[in-house]
A and B are shown apart, each in its own frame.
Chain A
Amino acid sequence: SVQAHKEDTPQKLLEMNGHTPEPHSYDYDLIVIGGGSGGLAAAKEAAKYEKKVMVLDFVTPTPLGNSWGLGGTCVNVGCIPKKLMHQAALLGQALQDSRKFGWQFTEEVKHSWMTMTESVQNYIGSLNWGYRVALREKKVTYENAYGEFVGPHTVKATNKRGVEKLYTAERFLIATGERPRYLDIPGDKEYCISSDDLFSLPYCPGKTLVVGASYVALECAGFLAGLGLDVTVMVRSILLRGFDQDIANKIGEYMEEHGISFIREFVPIKVEQIEEGTPGRLKVIAKSTKGNEIIEGEYNTVLLAIGRDACTRKIGLDKVGVKINEKTGKIPVNDEEQTNVPYIYAVGDILQDKLELTPVAIQAGRLLVQRLYAGATTKCDYVNVPTTVFTPLEYGACGYSEESAVEKFGEENIEVYHSHFWPLEWTVPSRDNNKCYAKIICNIQDNERVIGFHVLGPNAGEVTQGFAAAIKCGMTKEQLDSTIGIHPVCAEV
Chain B
Amino acid sequence: GKNDYDLLVIGGGSGGLACAKEAAQFGRKVAVLDYVEPSPQGTKWGLGGTCVNVGCIPKKLMHQAALLGSALKDAQHYGWNIAQPVHHTWSVMAQAVQNYVKSLNWGHRVQLQDKKVKYFNMKGSFSDPHTIRGLTKAGKETIITAENIVIATGGRPKYPTHIAGALKYGITSDDLFWLKESPGKTLTPFVFNVSLECAGFLTGIGLDTTVMMRSIPLRGFDQQMASLVTEHMESYGTKFLKLCFPTKVEKLESSRLQVTWKNTELGTEESDSFDTVMWAVGRAPETETLNLERAGVKTNPETGKIIVDASEATSVPHIYAVGDITEGRPELTPTAVAAGKLLAQRLFGQASELMDYENVPTTVFTPLEYGCVGLSEEMAVQCYGADNIEVYHAYYKPLEFTVAERDATQCYMKMVCLREREQRILGLHFIGPNAGEVIQGFALGIKCGATYPQLMKTVGIHPTCAEEITKLHITKRSGLDATVTGC
Contacts and interface: CB of A to CB of B under 8 A. Distances in A.
Interface in A449-493: 459, 461-470, 472-475, 479-480, 482-492
A240 B168 CA distance: 62
Contacts of B266: none
B443 A109 contact: no
B441 A468 contact: yes
A134 B74 CA distance: 29
Given A127-B486, A470-B444, A101 B93 contact: yes
Interface in A80-99: 80, 83-84, 87-88, 91-92, 94-95, 97-98
A466 B400 CA distance: 20
B447 A112 contact: no
Interface stretch (A245-253, A258-266, A406-414, A420-428): A420-428
B368 to A, nearest CB: 15
A195 to B, nearest CB: 16
Contacts of A74: 462, 487
B135 interface: no
A23 B352 CA distance: 68
B100 interface: yes
B440 A111 contact: no
B154 interface: no
A130 B487 CA distance: 10
B332 A469 contact: no
A489 B436 contact: yes
B462 A466 contact: no
A71 interface: yes
A109 B486 CA distance: 33
A396 interface: yes
B69 A472 contact: no
Report, as a range, how many residues of chain A touch the other chain.
35 or more
B485 A130 contact: yes
Given A470-B450, A484-B338, A475 B445 contact: yes
A427 B104 CA distance: 11
A466 B75 contact: no
A489 B448 contact: no
A103 B88 contact: yes
Interface in A151-188: none
Contacts of B457: 381, 472
A102 B461 contact: no
Contacts of A91: 71, 74-75, 78, 80
Interface in A105-157: 105-106, 109-117, 119-120, 123, 127, 130-131, 134
Contacts of B159: none
Nearest to A476: B448
Contact of B399 (A84, A474, A489): A84
B78 A109 contact: no
A44 B234 CA distance: 38
B440 A491 contact: yes
B440 A469 contact: no
A56 B269 CA distance: 68
Contacts of B445: 466, 469-470, 472-473, 475
A461 B463 CA distance: 8
Contact of B458 (A92, A123, A469, A491): A469
Contacts of A130: 485-486
Contact of A487 (B74, B97, B333, B461): B333
B1 interface: no
B431 to A, nearest CB: 13
A465 B438 contact: yes
B487 A358 contact: yes
A462 B399 contact: no
A484 B332 contact: yes
Contact of A102 (B89, B371, B438, B444): B89
Contacts of B57: 424, 488
Contact of A465 (B83, B332, B467): B467
B267 interface: no
Contacts, number: 292
Contact of A357 (B447, B462, B470): B462
Contacts of B409: none
Contacts of A120: 403
A149 B454 CA distance: 38
Nearest to A382: B459
B280 to A, nearest CB: 19
Given A102-B205, A388-B464, A466-B440, A94 B68 contact: yes
B338 A131 contact: no
A360 interface: yes
Contact of B436 (A98, A115, A131, A486): A486
Contacts of A359: 459-462, 467
Contact of B441 (A227, A360, A463): A463
A469 B438 CA distance: 11
A418 interface: no
A363 interface: yes
B375 interface: no
Contact of A110 (B69, B81, B353): B81
Nearest to B94: A102
B466 A482 contact: no
Of the listed residues A396, A480, A486, the one surrounded by the most CB atoms of chain B closer than 10 A to its CB is A486
A485 B363 CA distance: 10
A105 B205 contact: no
Of the listed residues B371, B444, B486, the one surrounded by the most CB atoms of chain A closer than 10 A to its CB is B444
Contacts of B474: none
B25 interface: no
Contacts of A468: 441, 458-459, 461
A388 B333 contact: no
A89 to B, nearest CB: 9
B97 A465 contact: no
A473 B71 contact: no
Contacts of A362: 487
Given A88-B78, A101-B93, A110-B81, A388 B461 contact: yes
B440 A485 contact: yes
Contact of B459 (A105, A123, A386): A386
A92 B464 CA distance: 20
B68 A465 contact: no
A385 interface: yes
A131 B486 contact: yes
A387 interface: yes
A350 interface: no
Contacts of A483: 361, 443-444, 447
Given A84-B399, A465-B467, 6 more contacts: A84-B400, A88-B75, A102-B89, A109-B82, A428-B96, A461-B464
Interface of B: 51, 56-57, 60-61, 64-65, 68-69, 71-72, 74-75, 77-83, 86-94, 96-97, 100, 205, 332-335, 338, 353, 356, 360-363, 371, 399-400, 402-403, 434, 436-445, 447-450, 454-455, 457-467, 469-470, 485-487
4 smallest CB-CB distances across A and B, nearest first, come from A466-B441, A102-B93, A116-B79, A491-B440
